[in-house]
Amino acid sequence: MSRLNIVTKFRGLTRTRATLLPHNALSSTQVVSRTVVTCRRPDSTRSLCSPLSRSTPAQISRSYSATPYSTSSSPSSGGPNQHTYQNLCTPASIASSNFDLSRIHPSEHAQILRDFILVPEYLSPTEHDMLVEAATKKLKRALGKQVRYEDGHFDGVITRYRECSATDWGTVPESEATTMASSSLDTPTDTRGRTTPREIMHSIKQQFFPHHWNWVAPHILELESGKGGIKPHVDHLDASGEVVAGLCLGSTAIMELIHEDDPSKQFRVLLPKGCFYFQRDGVRYHYKHGIPILPEDHQFKGTVVPKEKRISIMLRNALEFSTHGKPPGYTAPGTQM
């Protein structure tokens, strides 16, 4: 069986709606890991993505915002990360290795890469293993050591799974939050030594999203090796806001996304172990997402990827802080992933 190699080289991406810049349109190539990018939108059409390389909120704001970083940023303005969040996109090199957009018209590629952000190798091996151990313990405490995998979710979307909430992971004690906030102003994220699930959840919120948002409690979902899967669905619109984010643990997973109104429009994303990803806006509201249930369907660009035990830790922003809200007249049966 052939092996899929995850490439995390960086190249730029235009922020136009029609096309992506060809690779030879850029003068340099930089190899980076744990990379996410921002798309600047000046008057010129030469709007390029630049690497953040797990930069701190202060560094991101200083580099990509006209307003200098300030610790006294007004919550009503969204804080220093509002500009960064609005301009994030997945770089072309990660898209070429981790996205199969062959069934999406090229004119829509740039928008999909803006609405589905993927950061391979976001977690270090130590952080990954710590989260796997913590999630496993949390599941056992919540469900019991000998609990069996459930055959089907209450709405029929998930099969062969175990799940629980991790409410305490979503809150940071005041003393811990003060220490983390002060260190994150000028210290690179990957040198802070994230040693607890709460620290990782907190750093994700601080790095990628508006700081005034409230969040639903983190959700842990484990799929059984070889059997677990999730049918395509849209997450409940009454339960959370515009962002559905996740950490992929244990094994590589293939996510399939199918447009609700036009099933011929679909794409797949290769989610490597240790990655962070989130869907928002058009992808969150108009594409159903799932993990293929049958092992033979769990493939990417023609290569079957083994279905091993997978744990996902999901983060969703609270509905009242969503900037878009529900599309008019929209109803969806979805669940959670």
Tens digit of each residue's pLDDT (9 = 90 or more) over 283-294: 999 999 999 999
Tens digit of each residue's pLDDT (9 = 90 or more) over 236-291: 999 899 999 999 999 999 999 999 999 999 999 999 999 999 999 999 999 999 99
Out of 54-58, 135-139, 170-174, pick the least confident: 54-58
Q: How sure is the predictor about 178, in pLDDT bands with cuts at 50, 70 and 90? A: low
Q: What is the mean pLDDT of the chain?
A: 75
CA atoms of 62 and 48, how far apart (whole Å): 17
Q: Is the pLDDT of residue 73 over 50?
A: no
Comparison of pLDDT for 115 and 37, the residue scoring more: 115
Question: What pLDDT shows up at residue 296?
Answer: 97
Helices 57-64 and 197-208 pack at an angle, to 10 degrees, of: 10
Mean pLDDT, to the nearest integer, of 166-180? 70
Owner of token pair 């829509």: 108
Cα Rg of the chain, angstroms: 19
Mean pLDDT, to the nearest integer, of 294-305? 97
Question: What pLDDT shows up at residue 152?
Answer: 81
Tens digit of each residue's pLDDT (9 = 90 or more) over 46-63: 333 444 444 554 443 333
Residue 65, phi then psi, degrees to nearest 5? -125, 145
Question: What pLDDT shows up at residue 323?
Answer: 52
61-70, 179-188, 200-209: range with highest mean pLDDT = 200-209
28 CB contacts (<8 Å, ≥6 apart)? Answer: none
278 CB contacts (<8 Å, ≥6 apart)? Answer: 116, 117, 208, 243, 244, 245, 246, 315
3-state helix vs strand vs coil in the chain, percent to 5 = 30, 25, 50
Total length of the chain = 337
Q: Is the pLDDT of residue 37 over 70?
A: no
Mean pLDDT, to the nearest integer, of 29-43? 40
Question: What pLDDT shows up at residue 148?
Answer: 87
Q: How sure is the predictor about 3, in pLDDT bands with cuts at 50, 70 and 90? A: very low
Q: Is the pLDDT of residue 10 over 60?
A: no
Look up the pTM and report it. Answer: 0.75
Tell me which fold the domain 125-321 belongs to: Jelly Rolls (2.60.120)
Owner of token pair 């493939």: 299
CA atoms of 250 and 272, how far apart (whole Å): 9
Tens digit of each residue's pLDDT (9 = 90 or more) over 94-124: 999 999 999 999 999 999 999 999 999 999 9
Kindly list the domain boundaries of the chain, sorted by start residue: 9-108, 125-321
